[in-house]
Amino acid sequence: MLVICLVSLVAGNVLLWIWSRGLNFRKDLDNIQQARNPDILFVGNSLLDYRIDSAALNQGAANQGAASGGQTFTPLNTALGATDANDQAFLALYALQQHPQLHTMVVGFYDYQLTEEDRVTPVDLVGNHSIAFDSRIPVREIAAVDHFDTFQTGELLLLRILPMAACRVNIWKYAERLRRSMGGLGIRPETTEIMGRPRSYYVTEPRRFLEDPSHFDSSYEYLFSQATAARMHVVLVLMPMSPIHRKVYYTRQTWQDYMVKLQSLSQQRGFTFVDASAWMPDATQFEDAIHMTGTAATAFSFRLGAELATVPGDTKPGN
Amino acid sequence: MIFNTFVYYVLFLLPAAALYRWVGARSRPWVIAVSGCLFFVYFAYSLAGLPGTLCLGIFLWEALTSRLYQQGSRWCLVGMLQSVLFLGIFKYWNFFSGILFWRHANPLHWRGAFLPLGISFFTFEFYHYAFDRRAGRSEKGTLGEYLAFILFFPTMVAGPIKRFQDFLPKLRATPEDWQHDWERGLTRILTGLAKKFAIADLMTAWTVHLNRHDIALADRPVLLLWLFAYGLQIYADFSAYSDIAIGSARLFGLGVPENFNWPYGRRNIQSFWRCWHMSFTRWLIDYVFVPLGGSRVPLPRVCFNILAVMLICGLWHGAGWNFLAWGLWHGILLVIHRLWRRVRGAPSTHAVPVLASRALTFLAVNAGWALFCMDLSTATLFYRRLLAG
Amino acid sequence: MLTNLRETIEYLAGQRDEPGPWLLRTPTWISGSIVWLLAIALIYCFCGQSTQFTYINF
């Protein structure tokens, strides 16, 4: 009986490993590996995922004329939907490791994303957070970014060895979808954004940062320290938000105070801060409250290219 | 929780059960006692920090005082009292002191209150031992054997509530067919875990809506769905925990009492309680109902005893008015059943009354779950919306 | 029939040591393997549940 179960488990592990090779974060890592001589790195979540138009970016830069100094960009977009700061850091760090010639890092964010702290344990690594199970991300990096203690690091190591644990996310999503369809029975669904998060979620207040505006979220701090060590220039872009989102959340006093402190911190660190939140004034340019349409993404890329052309990006020796 | 963590199996259960098999008869109780101490320290620390860990002292104190228990001895009364005190202080201090200072700030409020791991269960085992020692119904056992009894970690957190006189012979026996024990034990654990994840946890997709906000917004038929989902969830969850505990004990070659025997679908509320959380029901009967006079007293007194027992039952589940209300609901059902039986005599065996009685019992039990899982005001809103829209 | 069903389920779940009348002729290793694989599959599929919201992006 034990033998049958062990044989079945081994077969299950192999099949699941094969099936999971096409997961989004794996494709992202493959794209990073295969990218050809990128020089500008984009980091972010679904707001930036598939929303950098390379041609429009370069057109925007060219439009700056003399100010751009004829600069062109070869962007590498590591932004991935459904990720948190730590996941984005892993992708970006992998890109830095694969492409040392990168000279600029552009981090797209919204609301309090840059400063919200998130505590993660190995058990929380579902969805796109399972990027931590990919063997291309060093364990010590994960332990450093996620603040795993020795025991949790051991747990992570063990989970990475077993494909059934590391690739569980493919099966997990079906159970999760079942739960959500069950939960939606007989109750009027709340308006959600395209990723499924209800609008009522966006009510958090950044108390910790307002009291102590000396640092970003620890995952971004780690990433920025690596970028600075690699002599990259960091650009923080507050992503375009729909008029309704700006009206409801960005007119609040808390947000105004937060922005002042955030910009001040960026300045202290020598980062460039671009407030693009009002770049798209028309609600039709958004699929929901926060995600741009494809057309809007092109316009955004054009304008961002113009902004980036004036940023001192060529700081690496030999560039 | 504990039974769905790798640590429980990898660090505690499998090594302890394997070691238990290999050591000699004299060392076996100490294997359980030591592994139980380590288990308590580990999980109590993760739940309640250092204060939680220090509660291991309660077990050690109880083990020492238990050496004084003899038939007819007053030390047994002390033992019973201290078990009640341990439970009362940790679990009910804030609740009862809050009642004393009704509608005012409670100066006796214990801000850092926490529950020692498994307190609701181990205090009941302490009480049983003291009570039965006094009545001469239980052997004393050695210190190691008693420590093994109270520190047996598979049943420490959520039962089943054991009896020393049942546990001791099994502890003293040499486990023989360990291959069969492990096969049956692992089967029980795996099916328990499957029940927990695939049924109990899945039901939370519905039961998570049992709050004021969602109850006010939901369609009426869905409220009933959520109520039945809770009934299924609590049964699957608790019976799964019992399965894992019983299966874990089987790995040691030790049998512990069954806790559930297909409670839903029983013909009447009395049968339901004989099949739901059976070790707890037996404890209540032996140590509360019978000492109050049981069924040997006049009918009004029997009804009072039933209500008293069920109020204690409700309160044991949680320090809150809603739990008392839930206990009272079941007490009333039991009293009605007793009176009905007195009037109508033996139950019918025809198919229709049998089916009707099963359905009615099922509905009556499930109707009470709203009191169990929500505070009184939310439960009232729930019933109002369900019955009156 | 209900009694037989109950006994069979209890045996398959590990609660009973004697197989019910329906499984008397079935070798233990067959019924046991099926139960174990089914339980492991169910545990595997459903053990990642949480009431915490997690995005699904694939």
Tell me what pLDDT residue A127 has: 77
Report how far residue B18's alpha carbon sits from residue A21's, in angstroms, rounded to the nearest whole number.
Answer: 39
When pLDDT is cut at 50, 70 and 90, the band that residue A138 belongs to is very high
Q: What is the mean pLDDT of chain B?
A: 94
- Give the CATH number, domain containing residue A28: 3.40.50.1110
Residue A203 contacts C, CB cutoff 8 Å = no
pLDDT single digits (tens) B319-367: 999 999 999 999 999 999 999 999 988 888 899 999 999 999 999 999 9
pLDDT band at A5 (very low <50, low <70, confident <90, very high): confident
In a domain, A304, yes or no: yes
Q: Based on the number of CB atoms within 10 Å of its own CB, is A191 exposed (0-12), middle (13-18) or buried (19 or more)?
A: exposed
- Is residue A102 within 8 A of residue A149, CB to CB? The reply is no
pTM attached to this predicted model: 0.82
Q: Do the domain assignments include residue A118?
A: yes
CB–CB contact C13 B187 (8 Å): yes
Is C28 in CB contact (< 8 Å) with chain A? yes
Average pLDDT over all residues of chain A = 86
Q: What φ, ψ does residue B129 adopt, rounded to 5°?
A: -65, -45
- How far apart (Å, rounded) are the C-alpha atoms in residues A226 and B34? 48
Q: Of B194, B208, B258, which has the smallest distance from its Cβ to C39's Cβ?
A: B194
| Residue B247 contacts C where some CB pair is shorter than 8 Å | yes
| pLDDT reported for residue A204 | 65
Does residue A5 belong to the interface with chain C, where contact is any CB pair within 8 Å?
yes
Put simply, whether A134 touches C (Cβ < 8 Å) is no
Largest CA distance in chain A: 76
A239-248, B66-75, B235-244, C22-31: least confidently modelled range: C22-31
Q: What pLDDT, on the 0 to 100 scale, is given for residue A319?
A: 35
Q: Residue A141 falls within a domain, yes or no?
A: yes
A315: in domain: no
Are residues C32 and B202, on separate chains, in Cβ contact within 8 Å?
A: no
The tens digit of pLDDT for each residue in A25-49 reads 888 899 999 999 999 999 999 999 9
A window 145-174, beta carbon within 8 A of C:
164, 168-174
- The SS3 of residue A181 is helix
| pLDDT tens track for B89-105 | 999 999 999 988 877 78
The pLDDT, as a whole number, for residue C25 is: 82
Contact A185 B208 (CB under 8 A): no
In a domain, A21, yes or no: yes
Residue A193 lies in domain: 2-309
Flag if B202 and A178 touch (Cβ within 8 Å): yes
Two tokens at B31? 């294997």
Q: How high is the pLDDT of residue A315?
A: 45
**With an 8 Å Cβ cutoff, is C30 touching chain B?**
no
CA angle A224, A230, A235 (to 5 degrees): 45
- In this complex, is the C-beta atom of B194 within 8 Å of any C-beta atom belonging to chain C? yes
Residues B187, C36: C-beta atoms closer than 8 Å: yes
Neighbours of B317 (CB within 10 A): 17
Segment-wise mean pLDDT, segments of 10 residues, chain B, 389 residues:
87 95 92 97 91 93 95 95 95 91 83 90 97 95 96 95 96 89 95 95 92 89 94 96 97 95 94 97 97 93 96 95 97 96 88 93 96 95 92
Q: Which residues neighbour B254 within 8 Å (Cβ) at sequence distance 6 or greater?
A: B152, B167, B170, B171, B175
Instruction: Assess if residue A129 is contained within a domain.
Output: yes
Reported confidence tier of residue A191, pLDDT bands at 50, 70, 90: low
Angle at CA C48, nearest 5°, toward C45 and C50? Answer: 135
Q: Among partner residues C14, C17, C43, which is closest to B247 by beta-carbon distance?
A: C14
CA distance B349 to chain C (A): 16
DSSP B346-365: SPP-SHHHHHHHHHHHHHHH
Rg (CA), chain C: 17
Measured CA angle at A245 (ends A240, A251), to 5 deg? 100
Q: Is C9 within 8 Å of chain B by CB?
A: no
- Are A258 and A209 in contact by the 8 Å Cβ rule? The answer is yes
- Phi, psi torsion values for B30, nearest 5 degrees: -75, -30
- The predicted complex's ipTM stands at 0.92
Concatenate the DSSP letters of all residues of B294-345 into one string: TTSS-HHHHHHHHHHHHHHHHHHH-SSHHHHHHHHHHHHHHHHHHHHHHHH-
The residue ranges of every structural domain in chain C are 2-46
| Interatomic CA distance for residues C58 and B2, integer angstroms | 31
> Which of the residue ranges A197-211, A264-278, B310-324, B371-385 would you say has the lowest mean pLDDT?
A197-211
| Residue A317: predicted pLDDT | 41
**Contacting residues of C for A9, CB less than 8 Å apart:** 40
Residue A131: inside a domain, yes or no? yes
Q: Between residues C12 and A161, which one has the greater pLDDT? A: C12
Kindly indicate the confidence band of residue A316, based on its pLDDT and cuts at 50, 70 and 90.
very low
d(CA A215, CA A205): 16
The answer to whether A21 faces chain C, any CB pair under 8 Å, is no
Say if C34 is an interface residue toward chain B (CB within 8 Å): no
Q: Considering the domain boundaries, does residue A190 fall inside one?
A: yes
Q: Which residue of B has its CA nearest to A180?
A: B205
**For residue B103, how far is the Cα from the chain centroid?**
32
Please answer yes or no on whether B217 and A1 come within 8 Å at the CB atom: no
- C42 and B202 within 8 Å at the Cβ level: the answer is no
Contact state of A171 with C58 under an 8 Å Cβ cutoff: no
> Encoding tokens for residue A91?
């992708």
